Amino acid sequence: RVKDRATGLDKLVLREARGSSAEVYLYGGQVTSWNNTYGEQQLFVSKKASFKPPKAIRGGIQICFPQLGNHGVLEQHGFARNRLWSVDENPPPSRDTTFDCHINLILKQSADDLKIWPHSYELRLQVALSPRGDLILTSRIKNSNADGKPFQFSFAYHTYFSVSDISEVRVEGVDTLDYLDNLQSKNRRTEQGDAVVFESEVDRVYLSAPPKIVTIDHEKKRTFVLRKKELPDVVVWNPWDKKAKAMPDLGSEEYTCMLCVGAACIEKPITLRPGEEWQGRQEISSVPSSYSSGM
Ligand code: BG6
């Protein structure tokens, strides 16, 4: 655990014996760096990102809970991404396998949060690196309400991948799926083309997507493979030039070298009764593009 000199915020650094590494801020429980075994950065963080609460850090992997986007009455993408998490020293045993190189964080409601979302919860996040350098995020959410009330939430790993040139990127695995188009009043539409390519702003939630989504960066000759569990939907977002210019924490040209593709659960929110726990996992690997997606 180190204090970042530039931001003054606490972050945890994970280093896997075979060379990969990751950094996770307690602020937002947010992964802001993921280097593969060759030391190459795989995630995008804006040069103009603000590290000053209450603004969320622009980039890395934002944890969106208990709401995604403006699909609800809470603040955009929920509040977990701008809260201070803690290290979870004694997490209860997990039913999923894990890797030796990992850290556990936890977020619970504060007295102030209860005024905007009147529920007690335990949100646990494990960030792990596999021996081959994959980044595995597992979240567990438990309803700790003492008043017997269930609660409902949506969730996303809002993942900013670093790409070399957005015009040369395509996303496979979501073609032919229905999606909610946030640029068209969240209308439900169906994808027509083969793979998703980027020529203008894209702001979509693909529904009931397969467990594996592939993002191919031609110029860098690398492919991100995203595998997900208990997270049926997939967020795909790039602001393009006009929106990027209007965002104070994104450089006007930075949209060309980022793409958000993240596992989510939006269309059918999860309901938990007191004592119940939900678990959702996203695993991402970065592989050379000679790799065949098998789709
Ligand atoms: C996407 C939303 O998921 O996130 C977009 O669908 C939004 O509408 C984008 O602009 C970034 O959101 P924020 O709150 O981090 O600026």
**Vertex 163, ends 136 and 261: CA angle to 5°?**
50
What are the strands, taking DSSP E only, across 112-163? Answer: 121-129, 135-143, 151-162
Would you list the domain boundaries of the chain?
A: 2-288
> Could you tell me the pLDDT band of residue 193, with boundaries at 50, 70 and 90?
confident
Instruction: Mean pLDDT check: name the lowest of 85-89, 93-97, 261-265.
Output: 93-97
Instruction: For the chain, give the mean pLDDT.
Output: 94
What percent of the chain shows pLDDT beyond 70? 98
- Given a cut of 60, whether residue 292 has pLDDT beyond it is no
Task: Say what the pLDDT of residue 291 is.
Answer: 53
Residue 62 Cα: closest atom of ligand 1 = 15
Task: Say what the pLDDT of residue 185 is.
Answer: 81
Query: pLDDT tens, 119-149?
Result: 999 999 999 999 999 999 999 999 999 999 9
Beta-carbon contacts of residue 139 (< 8 Å; ≥ 6 apart): 63, 65, 123, 124, 125, 126, 155, 157, 279, 280, 281
Buried b (16+ CB within 10 A) or exposed e, 164-179: eebeebbbbbbbebeb
Q: Is 203 in the pocket of ligand 1 (CB under 6 A)?
A: yes
Residue type, 188: R
The residue with tokens 């992964």 is 31
Query: pLDDT tens, 147-180?
Result: 999 999 999 999 999 999 999 999 999 988 999 9
Choices 3.40.50.970, 2.60.120.10, 3.90.1150.10, 2.70.98.10: CATH for 2-288: 2.70.98.10
274 Cα to the center of ligand 1, angstroms: 31
Q: Which strand (E) or helix (H) includes residue 245?
A: helix 240-246
Measuring from atom 2 of ligand 1, which residue has the nearest CA?
69
Task: Say what the pLDDT of residue 290 is.
Answer: 65
Distance separating alpha carbons of residues 199 and 206, to the nearest angstrom: 18
